[in-house]
């Protein structure tokens, strides 16, 4: 019962939130369309930027979301709790870093994956380590980085930032509370 | 790289379908629901990215980071990195170019780390998955990390202190 009431409340809260988004999308579309008609440079450039990133996302999303979907269905809660759960400690952070290193996606696709991990019982601080580590130590990206800035730079960056990420994740969990995700059931995951 | 992701997804999907059709259909439905839920916000994010990149294209970023003072450079680099959202294949060649123009490793570390960890334009998206409080705290802490990393790199390369 209580859950239903809570859900209704969040639904009510959500509805008005969509409107500004739709207005923004409509306004932007109109602006770009008008820019193309009247050959207005700024609008055309923005439209090109949009198309450039949108094409990237469209290519990336089907496989990425299919993998997250398969993860949600196949990986059982116990496995996640064992490796990333409340009791996994430092090894959990290490596992999260290893998982993050193999990440191929940009942040926008890592987000739903991290949310899925959390939903399956991963500890908040470990989810945060995964988020942070996947931002800075994706191996495919690092190879690219090292070829432009040198291997020394990349290694130093890993060595300095990874401990900071683990420490800050534990710290952030303390600030928002370990049960933060459970206390916010309206969040998408 | 894209081929690799598609390969991985197809093999996983195929394996899943062979083992259990029902579960695979459920997985595809889950994937679709996740996508539909996030689509409006994703469009908004793309809009923000397109606007930010219009005002902060790579050559403007290059101009801002080229300042001679390391400390001013670090602050500018981390702020620009936080606001902007460049893909890796632009970020690193750009950083390489800046390096050859004399921009310090310290400034580049602040720029790349902040770019990768702090997301002002992706904030609405992050908020949807992790709530306002966590999204704000995570971004602030990430910003601090970017500055610490850059100072660390600066000390080791002998560029600061």
pLDDT tens-digit series, residues B21-36? 999 999 999 999 989 9
Predicted complex ipTM: 0.88
Q: What angle do CA B159, B94, A164 make, to 5 degrees?
A: 55
pLDDT at A59 over 90: no
Q: Residue A145 and residue B92: Cβ atoms within 8 Å?
A: yes
Token pair listed for A154: 């990349």
Interface test with A, best of B27, B57, B103, B109 (most A CBs within 10 A): B27
Q: Which of A53, A105, A171 sits opposite B46 (nearest CB)?
A: A53
In angstroms, what separates the C-alpha of B38 from chain A's closest C-alpha?
A: 9
Q: Is A136 in contact with B27 (Cβ distance < 8 A)?
A: no
Angle A139-A106-A96 (CA atoms, 0-180°, nearest 5)?
55
Indicate the average pLDDT of chain A. Answer: 87
Closest CA in chain B for residue A50: B50
Residue A5 — very low, low, confident or very high, per pLDDT cuts 50/70/90?
Answer: very low
Percentage of residues in chain A having pLDDT higher than 70:
90
- Closest residue of chain B to A22, computed from CA coordinates: B40
Residue A4 has pLDDT above 60, yes or no: no
Q: Across chain B, what does the average pLDDT equal? A: 91
pLDDT of residue A125: 96
Work out whether the CA dihedral A96, A98, A103, A107 comes out positive or negative.
positive
The model's confidence at residue B1, banded by pLDDT at 50, 70 and 90, is low
- A80/chain B closest Cα distance in angstroms: 18
Subunit contact B5:A60, Cβ cutoff 8 A: yes
pLDDT tier at A9, thresholds 50, 70, 90: very low
Per residue in B80-125, pLDDT (tens digit) is 999 988 877 788 888 998 898 889 999 999 999 999 999 999 999 9
pLDDT of residue A184: 83
Nearest residue on chain A to B103, alpha-carbon basis:
A149
Residue A69 has pLDDT above 80, yes or no: yes
User: Which residues in chain B touch residue A172, judged by CB atoms under 8 angstroms apart?
Assistant: 134, 137-138, 141
The pLDDT of residue A13 is 47
Of A47, A115, A176, the CB nearest to B133: A176
- A86's CB contacts (< 8 A; 6+ apart) are A123, A178
The shortest C-alpha distance from B61 to chain A (Å) reads 16
B5–A104 C-beta distance less than 8 A: yes
Nearest-CA distance A16 → chain B (Å): 14
For B141, residues 6+ apart whose C-beta sits below 8 A from its C-beta are: A168, A171, A172
In this prediction, residue A10 has a pLDDT band, given cuts at 50, 70 and 90, of very low
Distance, CA of A162 to CA of A169 (rounded, Å): 11
A25, A111, A148 ranked by CB distance to B96: nearest: A148
Question: Where do the domains of chain A lie?
Answer: 1-62, 75-189
| pLDDT (0 to 100) of residue A103 | 83
The residue extents of the domains of chain B are: 1-49, 56-161
**Contact criterion met (CB < 8 Å) for B148 and A187:** no
User: Which residue's structure tokens are 């690193």?
Assistant: B92
Token pair 């801002």 in the structure block, residue: B64
Burial group, residue A102, by CB count within 10 angstroms (0-12, 13-18, 19+): exposed
Average pLDDT over residues A28-56: 92
Distance from CA of A183 to the nearest CA of B (A): 11
Contacts of B28 in chain A (CB under 8 A): 66, 69
pLDDT at A188: 63
CB contact under 8 A, A65 and B34: yes
Does the distance separating the beta carbons of B134 and A21 come in below 8 Å? Answer: no
- The pLDDT, as a whole number, for residue A3 is 47
Identify the H or E element spanning A99: helix A89-101
Cross-chain residue pair B133–A188, CB shorter than 8 Å: no
Beta carbons of A54 and B129 less than 8 Å apart: no
Q: pLDDT-based confidence at A17, cuts 50/70/90?
A: low
DSSP-derived secondary structure letter, B31:
H
Q: How many CB pairs (< 8 A) connect A and B?
A: 193
Judge whether residue A187 has pLDDT over 80. Answer: no
B48 pLDDT above the threshold of 80: yes
Residues 6+ apart with CB under 8 A from A153: A145, A146, B105, B108, B109, B153
């Amino acid at each position: 019962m209580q859950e239903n009431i809570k859900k209704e409340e969040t639904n009510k809260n959500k509805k008005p939130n969509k409107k500004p988004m739709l207005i923004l999308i409509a306004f932007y579309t109109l602006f770009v369309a008008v820019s193309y008609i009247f050959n207005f440079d700024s609008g055309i450039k923005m439209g090109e930027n949009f198309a450039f990133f949108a094409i990237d996302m469209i290519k990336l999303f089907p496989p990425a979301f299919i993998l997250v979907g398969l993860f949600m269905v196949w990986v059982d809660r116990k496995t996640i709790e064992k490796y990333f759960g409340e009791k996994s400690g430092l090894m959990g952070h290490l596992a999260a870093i290893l998982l993050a290193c193999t990440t191929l996606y940009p942040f926008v696709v890592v987000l739903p994956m991290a949310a899925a991990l959390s939903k399956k019982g991963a500890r908040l601080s470990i989810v945060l380590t995964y988020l942070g580590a996947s931002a800075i130590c994706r191996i495919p990206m690092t190879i690219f980085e090292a070829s432009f800035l040198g291997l020394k730079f990349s290694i130093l960056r890993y060595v300095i930032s990874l401990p900071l990420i683990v420490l800050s994740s534990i710290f952030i969990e303390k600030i928002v509370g370990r049960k933060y995700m459970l206390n916010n059931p309206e969040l998408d995951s | 790289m894209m081929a690799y992701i598609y390969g991985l997804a197809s093999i996983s999907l195929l394996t899943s379908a062979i083992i259990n059709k029902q579960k695979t259909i459920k997985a595809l439905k889950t994937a679709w629901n996740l996508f539909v839920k996030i689509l409006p916000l994703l469009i908004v994010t793309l809009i923000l990215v397109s606007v930010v990149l219009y005002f902060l294209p790579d050559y403007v970023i290059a101009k801002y980071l080229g300042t001679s003072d390391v400390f001013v450079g670090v602050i500018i680099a981390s702020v620009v990195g936080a606001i902007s959202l460049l893909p890796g294949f632009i970020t690193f060649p750009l950083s390489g170019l800046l390096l050859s123009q004399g921009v310090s490793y310290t400034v580049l570390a602040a720029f790349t780390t902040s770019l990768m960890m702090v997301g002002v334009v992706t904030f609405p998206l992050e908020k949807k998955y992790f709530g306002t409080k966590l999204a704000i705290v995570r971004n602030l802490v990430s910003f601090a990390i970017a500055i610490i990393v850059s100072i660390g790199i600066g000390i080791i390369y002998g560029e600061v202190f």
